[in-house]
Amino acid sequence: MIISMKLHSTKEEIEQVCERIRDFGYKIHAIEGEERVVIAAVGIGDTTVCLEAVEAMPQVEKAVRISAPYKFVSKEYRTERTRIRVDDCEIGGDEFIVMAGPCSVESEKQIMQAAEGVARAGAKLLRGGAFKPRTSPYDFQGLGVEALRILSRVRRETGLPIVSEVLSTDDVEIVAEHVDMLQVGARNMQNFALLRRLGLLRKPVLLKRSPAATVREWLLAAEYLLAGGNNQVVLCERGIRSYDPDLRNTLDLAGMALARQLSHLPVIADPSHATGRRDLIPAMCRAALAAGADGLIVEVHPDPANAISDGKQSLDFPSFAHMMETMRN
């Protein structure tokens, strides 16, 4: 159940409503909002009777039954689709938004070139990893804070908003200071401490699906963010683990469409990590668009053959520009 209080309810009024809900055997799990408080009540009780009783209280604006385990993320909570504003661009609105850039920030020159190249072809956000989650501890781990400073300069010069991954709770503050949207990588989808910390932030978060997570687990991970009060969440399908060694992962378009059907949040696709191969990326981009995605995040590098990470799945500028062109037709 989700109970919305009337605007500017007092602490006492909120507590009275919480008490009434608890009387019916429910637990109060989240209270969000500055002006309007919204209460999530979870448990097993007589929902119909509780709903009626709570809705009759004068301080309550609305009470709705939500059967899904994720409450704030659910379509039942918000019937209209959520639009997430990142600087000048809106994700989940009428425009199909493409974010692009290299896997890692390698140098100021490389990321500046990448920014210009992707913007020219129509990308609206620049991606670039500063903190890299690598399978091997011996692989390049990213330039860290130095990369964040470089990204800030690139943003100032090009005006492109930046999306970059945050790996640890310790880095949330510094990453949030330098980027417009914080990415939670696939490996951290169920890092609940990180999700709780990002729930306190009032900045957009791009939540990638873990390669082994069900759609329900993915939406419950998003619930951590919304329950903490951060409503600015974009979901990203980036491929799930499969058995074919010729493919890095499998782009789960049905899972992506299902997530979009079950929730009001925007959902984008990452064909780069989903396939691991640049030759398949244009087809997967068009497939994601056809399946209802709100946008894409694509790895593009000025010189893919010499990229420090994920070169094999990175597009060069001409192929990215061509792909963008085919998406418009």
Residue 181 contacts ligand PEP per CB under 6 A = no
Residue 139 contacts ligand PEP per CB under 6 A = no
Residue list 194-223, contact with ligand PEP (CB under 6 A): 208
**Interaction partner, residue 252 (ligand PEP, Mn ion, none; CB < 5-8 Å by kind):** none
**Interaction partner, residue 294 (ligand PEP, Mn ion, none; CB < 5-8 Å by kind):** none
Q: What are phi and psi of 276, to 5 degrees?
A: 75, 5
Nearer to ligand PEP, 40 or 166 (CB): 166
DSSP annotation of 281 reads H
For residue 171, CA distances in Å to 130, 182, 194, 236, 263 come to 11, 11, 10, 21, 29
Which segment (116-124, 168-176, 183-191, 281-289) binds ligand PEP by CB under 6 A?
183-191
Dihedral (Cα; 14, 16, 17, 20), 10-degree rounding: 160
Site string for ligand PEP, 60-99 (x = CB under 6 A): ----------------------------------------
Residues contributing to the site for Mn ion (CB under 5 A): 103, 310
Q: Minimum CB separation from ligand PEP for residue 303, in Å?
A: 17
Residue 133 contacts ligand PEP per CB under 6 A = yes
Nearer to Mn ion, 71 or 273 (CB): 273
Tokens 């696939």: give the residue: 186
State which of residues 129, 266, 295, 302 lies at the interface with ligand PEP (CB under 6 A): 129
**Interaction partner, residue 175 (ligand PEP, Mn ion, none; CB < 5-8 Å by kind):** none
Residue list 268-327, contact with ligand PEP (CB under 6 A): 270, 273
Q: Which residues contact 165 (CB under 8 A, 6 or more apart)?
A: 129, 130, 131, 132, 133, 175, 182, 183, 184, 185
Q: How far is the C-alpha of 171 from the C-alpha of 258, rounded, in Å?
A: 32
Tokens 């690139």: give the residue: 154
Residue 103 contacts ligand PEP per CB under 6 A = yes
Which segment (182-190, 195-203, 250-258, 318-326) binds ligand PEP by CB under 6 A?
182-190
Nearer to Mn ion, 232 or 272 (CB): 272
Residue 238 contacts ligand PEP per CB under 6 A = yes
- For residue 137, how many other CB atoms are within 10 A of its CB? 6
Are 111 and 142 spatial neighbours (Cβ–Cβ below 8 Å)? no
Nearer to ligand PEP, 129 or 271 (CB): 129
Query: For residue 274, with 0-12 CB atoms within 10 Å meaning exposed, 13-18 middle and 19 or more buried, which class applies?
Result: buried
Nearer to ligand PEP, 82 or 272 (CB): 272
Amino acid at 115: A
State which of residues 50, 126, 186, 269 lies at the interface with ligand PEP (CB under 6 A): 186
HEC sequence for 170-232: HHHHHHHHHCCEEEECHHHCCCHHHHHHHHCCCCCEEEECCCCCCHHHHHHHHHHHHHCCCCC
For residue 159, CA distances in Å to 49, 156, 243, 272, 292 come to 53, 6, 41, 24, 28
Q: Which residues form the interface with ligand PEP (CB under 6 A)?
A: 103, 129, 133, 185-187, 208, 238, 270, 273
